[in-house]
C-alpha cells in the first residue's frame, strides 16, 4: 500500500496550524490549530473531518485549553490529537510532512526536501524574515524529532515570485549595498498566488500558460501579483511583507523618508517605527478596526473614519490593478481571493469602479450572490473576466510536497 497522506504544518511565532490531507482524493482528514504557545492559556482545537462515523463529510471538533510551553509541546499535542483519531504520525499512510516556510531568499525557488544544509540556509535567511523563519524552523526541527525517518519538505512563500524579471525584483538603490545585504523584492503569499492564478485559468477553461492574470490576495495581509502565462512577473510585497497594498495592520507603500522623519523628528527608534508600520498601521491605524466586516458595518452607519479607511484601501488597490494591467499589456482575468477578496462584495465593486475603459467591471448581482467555489462576477461577455477564487494554500503545499516525495505529478 502506498502512503498517500501529507501533514501540512504552518508554524507561526505563537501558533501552529495543521491539516492532514489524503492526496489519493485530495480530501482533508483533519484540521486544527494550537494557539497562544508559551502562554498559560494555550488552546488546541482539532477537527476530524471524515470521522469513522462521519464518512458523509461530517466533522467533529475537540477543544482543550491549558499551558502549551513551547513549539515542541504544541506539535506533541497535534500528534496526540491525530493519534486519538487513528491518524497518528506513526501511521504507515503518512507519506511526508510539508512545512510552510515564509522566506526562501534567492536560493529556494522550488519546494525543497529538507536536510541539514537546507535548515542552515533557512536559518541564514532569518535576518530578512525575523518574525517568520525562526518559527518555521522550530516547526521543522520538532517534526524531525518526532519522525526522523519521514521526508519533510519546505514550501516557500517567496518561491512563486522567483520568476520576476530583474526590472521588477530590484530596488533602484546602490547595487553593491543591495547585494551585500540581500535587499531586493522577494514577494510573499506565493503559494496562494500560484494556486489562484492556475484556478482562475481553469475557471476560464484555458491552460495557465495561455492566460494573463492579476491576483488580488486580500486577507489580513494583502498582496497583488501579475502572472503572465503561469509565471509571476510582478508582485506588491518586497523585501518583507510590508510593501504594497494597505493591509489589516500594515501600511503598505509609503515614502521611505517617513521612516527617517519619524526617527529624527519623532524621536522613535527603528524598532518602534517597525512596530508602528507593521502592527499599528493599515486599516487598524486608520480607523481602529482591521476586520473588513466591522469596517463596512461602521461605513453603513455613517462613521467617517471607517469610510476614509475603506476609501484609502480601495484607492491603493485600484492603483495596483491599473499598474499591473500596464505591466501585463493584456489581462484575461482579475481574481479576488483570501478573507476580504472572497467575502467582501463592496471591496470588489469599489476596487474596479470606473475601470470600464479597461474592460473591467463587476456584475452587481453576481458580485453579491453568495457562493463558495470559484466563480465569475463580471458581466457575461465582458472583455476581461473578474473572478472570485477561494485560495487553498494547504492543498497547494500538500500537493507540492507529495509531488516531490513520490514523483507523482499533481495537477490542481
Ligand atoms: P490571514 O490568512 O491573512 O490571517 P484571511 O485570508 O483569513 O487572513 O482574512 C482575514 C480577513 O478577512 C479578516 O480580517 C476580515 O477583514 C476579512 N473577512 C473575513 N470574512 C469576511 C466577510 N464575510 N466579509 C468581509 N471581510 C471578511
Choosing from 195, 215, 219 the residue with most ligand 1 atoms within 8 A of its CB, the one to mutate for a pocket test is 219
Query: H or E segment at 272?
Result: helix 270-279
DSSP helix/strand/coil, 63: strand
Selecting among 53, 70, 115, 157, the annotated active-site residue is 157
Average pLDDT value for the chain: 94
Query: H or E segment at 393?
Result: helix 393-406
| 5-156 belongs to CATH 2.70.240.10 | no
Check if 157 is active-site: yes
CA 59 to chain centre: 25
Ligand 1 mean position to 157 CA, how many Å?
19
Evaluate whether 274 touches 296 at the Cβ level (below 8 Å).
no
Lowest mean pLDDT among 38-47, 310-319, 332-341: 38-47
β-strand partners of 176? none
- Per-residue pLDDT, averaged over 129-138, amounts to 87
Tell which wins on pLDDT, 27 or 52: 27
Lowest mean pLDDT among 62-76, 294-308, 353-367: 62-76
Q: What is the pLDDT of residue 235?
A: 98
How do residues 145-164 score in pLDDT, each as one tens digit? 989 999 999 999 999 999 99
Q: Which atom of ligand 1 is nearest to the CA of 347?
A: 25
pLDDT band at 98; cut points 50, 70, 90: very high
Nearest in space to 295 (alpha carbons), one of 241, 220, 389: 220
**Length of the chain measured in residues:** 412
Q: Which atom of ligand 1 is nearest to the CA of 218?
A: 6
Ligand 1 mean position to 219 CA, how many Å?
5
**Atom 15 in ligand 1: which residue has the minimum CA distance?**
291
Ligand 1 mean position to 393 CA, how many Å?
15
β-strand partners of 379? none
Choosing from 283, 317, 340, 394 the residue with most ligand 1 atoms within 8 A of its CB, the one to mutate for a pocket test is 340
How do residues 375-406 score in pLDDT, each as one tens digit? 999 999 999 999 999 999 999 999 999 999 99
Q: What is the pLDDT of residue 58?
A: 65
Q: Which atom of ligand 1 is nearest to the CA of 293?
A: 25
Q: What is the pLDDT of residue 198?
A: 97
- Per-residue pLDDT, averaged over 321-325, amounts to 98
Q: What is the pLDDT of residue 161?
A: 98
Lowest mean pLDDT among 57-66, 229-238, 311-320: 57-66
**Ligand 1 interacting residues, C-beta cut-off 6 A:** 219-221, 248, 290-293, 338-340, 343-344
Tell which wins on pLDDT, 70 or 364: 364
Q: What is the pLDDT of residue 1?
A: 63
Q: What is the pLDDT of residue 56?
A: 54
**Residue for grid cell 500500500:** 1
Q: What is the pLDDT of residue 131?
A: 78
Ligand 1 mean position to 292 CA, how many Å?
7
The model scores a pTM over 0.75: yes
CA 90, CA 94: separation in Å to the nearest integer? 8
As assigned by CATH, the class of the 205-393 domain is alpha beta
Nearest in space to 146 (alpha carbons), one of 88, 186, 190, 95: 88
Q: What is the pLDDT of residue 127?
A: 85
CA 204, CA 141: separation in Å to the nearest integer? 42
Q: What is the pLDDT of residue 342?
A: 97
Query: H or E segment at 313?
Result: helix 304-328
Evaluate whether 394 touches 19 at the Cβ level (below 8 Å).
yes
Choosing from 14, 33, 215, 220 the residue with most ligand 1 atoms within 8 A of its CB, the one to mutate for a pocket test is 220
- Per-residue pLDDT, averaged over 65-84, amounts to 90
Q: What is the pLDDT of residue 310?
A: 98
The reply to whether 205-393 shares the fold of 5-156 is yes
Ligand 1 mean position to 132 CA, how many Å?
20
Start-to-end CA distance of the chain, whole Å, equals 23
Sequence ranges of the domains in the chain: 5-156, 205-393
Amino acid at each position: 500500500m502506498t502512503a498517500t497522506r501529507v501533514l501540512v504544518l504552518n508554524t507561526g511565532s505563537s501558533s501552529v496550524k495543521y491539516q492532514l490531507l489524503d492526496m489519493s482524493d485530495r480530501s482533508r482528514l483533519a484540521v486544527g490549530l494550537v494557539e497562544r504557545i508559551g502562554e498559560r492559556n494555550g488552546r488546541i482545537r482539532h477537527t476530524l473531518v471524515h470521522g469513522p462515523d462521519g464518512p458523509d463529510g461530517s466533522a467533529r471538533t475537540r477543544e482543550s485549553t491549558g499551558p502549551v510551553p513551547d513549539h515542541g509541546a504544541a506539535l506533541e499535542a497535534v500528534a496526540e490529537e491525530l493519534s486519538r483519531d487513528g491518524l497518528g504520525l506513526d501511521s504507515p499512510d503518512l507519506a511526508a510532512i510539508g512545512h510552510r516556510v515564509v522566506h526562501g531568499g534567492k536560493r529556494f525557488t522550488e519546494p525543497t526536501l529538507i536536510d541539514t544544509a537546507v535548515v542552515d540556509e533557512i536559518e541564514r535567511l532569518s535576518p530578512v524574515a525575523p518574525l517568520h523563519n525562526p518559527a518555521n524552523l522550530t516547526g521543522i526541527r520538532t517534526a524531525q524529532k518526532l519522525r526522523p525517518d519521514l521526508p519533510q519538505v519546505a514550501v516557500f512563500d517567496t518561491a512563486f515570485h522567483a520568476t520576476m524579471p530583474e526590472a521588477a525584483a530590484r530596488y533602484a538603490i546602490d547595487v553593491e549595498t543591495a547585494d551585500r545585504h540581500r535587499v531586493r523584492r522577494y514577494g510573499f503569499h506565493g503559494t496562494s498566488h500560484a494556486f489562484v492564478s492556475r484556478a482562475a485559468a481553469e475557471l476560464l477553461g484555458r491552460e495557465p500558460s495561455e492566460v494573463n492574470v492579476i491576483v488580488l490576495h486580500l486577507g489580513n495581509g494583502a498582496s497583488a501579483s501579475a502572472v503572465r502565462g503561469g509565471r509571476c512577473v510582478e508582485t506588491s510585497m518586497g523585501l518583507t511583507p510590508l510593501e504594497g497594498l494597505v493591509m489589516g495592520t500594515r501600511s503598505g507603500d509609503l515614502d521611505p523618508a517617513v521612516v527617517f522623519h519619524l526617527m529624527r523628528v519623532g524621536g522613535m527608534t527603528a524598532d518602534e517605527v517597525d512596530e508602528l508600520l507593521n502592527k499599528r498601521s493599515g486599516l487598524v491605524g486608520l480607523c481602529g478596526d482591521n476586520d473588513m466586516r466591522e469596517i463596512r458595518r461602521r461605513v453603513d452607519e455613517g462613521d467617517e473614519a471607517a469610510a476614509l479607511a475603506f476609501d484609502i484601501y480601495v484607492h491603493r488597490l485600484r492603483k495596483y490593478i491599473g499598474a499591473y494591467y500596464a505591466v501585463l499589456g493584456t489581462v484575461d482575468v482579475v481574481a479576488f481571493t483570501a478573507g476580504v477578496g472572497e467575502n467582501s462584495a463592496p471591496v470588489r465593486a469599489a476596487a474596479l469602479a470606473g475601470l470600464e475603459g479597461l474592460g473591467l467591471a463587476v456584475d452587481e448581482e453576481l458580485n453579491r450572490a453568495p457562493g463558495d467555489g470559484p466563480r465569475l462576477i463580471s458581466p457575461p461577455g465582458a472583455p476581461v473576466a473578474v473572478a472570485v477564487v477561494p485560495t487553498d494554500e494547504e492543498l497547494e503545499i500538500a500537493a507540492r510536497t507529495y509531488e516531490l516525495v513520490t514523483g507523482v505529478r499533481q495537477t490542481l
